Structure 1
Amino acid sequence: MIRLPPEAWEALLLSLKVSATATLLSLPLALWVAHLLARGRFRGRGLLDALVHLPLVLPPVVTGYALLLLFSRAGPIGGVLEPLGFGLAFRWTGAALAAGIMGFPLMVRAIRQAIEAVDPKLEEAAATLGAAPVRVWATVTLPLAAPGVLAGVTLGFAKAFGEFGATITFVASIPGETRTLPAAIYAFLQVPDGDAALRGLVLIAVAVAVGAVLASNWLAPRIAARVAGR
């Protein structure tokens, strides 16, 4: 049993909540954008692809600062949301937004590759039988791309769980509110007697990451076999 101070467990539970929220809220948009990039032929497709992958190449601190400018009380979006009670800056919901943005490119990339691997002739065959585009996507494209979607969800969750730079810039490291597990690890690095808690949190972070990958690897072939009718 890993012995951790209460604030360390609090940070772990907050990280799980933040990463799960970020992943679930990002998934519908990731599916749509991935399908656009995989099947769409439109002007600006290259620009959309570049924008999607921008968080991967920008320093996370830059992404966090941009979010702060947009969603702070003085920002153009935050100034509208704050009076309505939907403020994001320096709140756990803002941490979920930052984590979701950082994990979004990985999610889209995996889902896009899975959709591109689906034979378009199968979709065309369903369309010729009278299926509407939405029905084709829901009954043909999505089931066949399901293992890739699962991989995207796993990557997005893992990235969100480990996100630090954008999160701490946008929402700081407030105990009980925005101090996620990576921020807690950094905080325990700064105190002389934090070695035990630090080692425990690192072990937990590794265990969660490995567990997510193993679960994905276990589920993906079973989903693929189910889709294939085996």
Structure 2
Amino acid sequence: MDGTPLVLSLKTAFCSTLLTFLIGIYAARWTMKLKRLQTVVDTVFTLPMVLPPTVVGFFLLQLLGKQSVVGEWLGKWGIQIVFSWTGTVIAAMVVAFPIMYRTARGAFEQVNPDWVDAARTLGLSEKKIFYSIILPNCWRGVLAGTLLSFARALGEFGATIMLAGNIPGKTQTLATAVYTAVQNGDRARAYEWVGIMVAISFSTIVLLQLIQSQQGQWLKKGGNKK
């Protein structure tokens, strides 16, 4: 069995999750500081979560296609997004981003505001407060969002096939490989790919459950000490 779709899926999921982690955290922190247009920005960031992936892929295709302004500008530098592995990463990142964003924002909002106010009173900068107080006290929530984003990126299909296509050895991920196998009537190969995806996703969810369980025990112990 050719393992290229598995390798491409893992590479895509890891790269897109890393980008989603970085962008999602700072986007969540930024929107919390907004006084105006917070609802509008929050809606835009969350929109890919509720839109069909094919619709998200269509918008990406219009934005990054060769005939678009961005696509033409990238073409001058020899960069092609459509039908490339980079396109698979972008598609997976955009679809997984709302999960990371919403989870991170929810975790940040759970941090005791009195701690932040006390840190400001002591003269700490906003950057120092973020890295030394907010993140250390909500890392479990951020990690949970990261794992969910990874699982979502791993199984992405609609946006990927719209933007990057289904090119064997180049952009064919596990999800698109399943689609190809079914289209070709190769059910045995489809079952193999599905089994691998289920195993990876199942392991990710189990790890998430363990993290949440440990967080609940930690909170319970902290409450008993009071």
Residue ranges of structure 2 left out of the alignment (5+ in a row): none
Matched, 1:68 2:61: yes
> Partners of 2:132 and 2:209 in 1: how far apart?
23
Given that 1:107 and 1:153 are in contact with CA atoms closer than 8 Å, whether structure 2 keeps it comes out as yes
Q: Offset at 1:13?
A: 0.9
Identity of aligned residues (%): 35
| Letter paired with 2:90 | L
2:104 match: 111
TM-score (norm 1): 0.90
Secondary structure of 1:77's match? Answer: helix
Tell me if 1:172 matches 2:171: no
2:45 corresponds to which residue? 52
**TM-score when normalising by structure 2:** 0.91
Structure 1: segments with no counterpart, 5+ residues: none
Q: CA deviation at 1:212?
A: 1.1
Query: Where does residue 40 of structure 1 map in the other structure?
Result: 33
Question: How far apart are residue 215 of structure 1 and its match?
Answer: 2.1
Preserved CA contact (<8 Å) 2:144 2:211? no
Name the Cα RMSD after superposition: 1.9
Deviations 1:12-52 (A, max 9, x none): 11011111111101212101111233x32421111101101
CA distance in structure 2 between the aligned counterparts of 1:13 and 1:160, rounded to whole angstroms: 14
2:197 aligned partner: 205
Partner residue, 2:155: 162
- CA apart distance, 1:128: 1.5
AA aligned to 2:199 is: A
- Residue 188 (structure 1) aligned to one of 178, 181, 193: 181
Q: What letter matches 2:147 in structure 1?
A: T
Select which of 12, 16, 37 maps to 1:22: 16
In the TM superposition, what is the alpha-carbon distance from 1:121 to its structure 2 partner?
Answer: 0.7
Report deviation, 1:84. 1.2
Q: Verify the 8 A CA contact 1:146 1:223 in the aligned structure 2.
A: no
Structure 1 distance, partners of 2:109, 2:149, is 19
Answer yes or no: is the 8 Å Cα contact 1:147–1:221 preserved in 2: no
Q: Aligned AA for 2:5?
A: A
Alpha-carbon distance, 1:200 to partner: 1.1
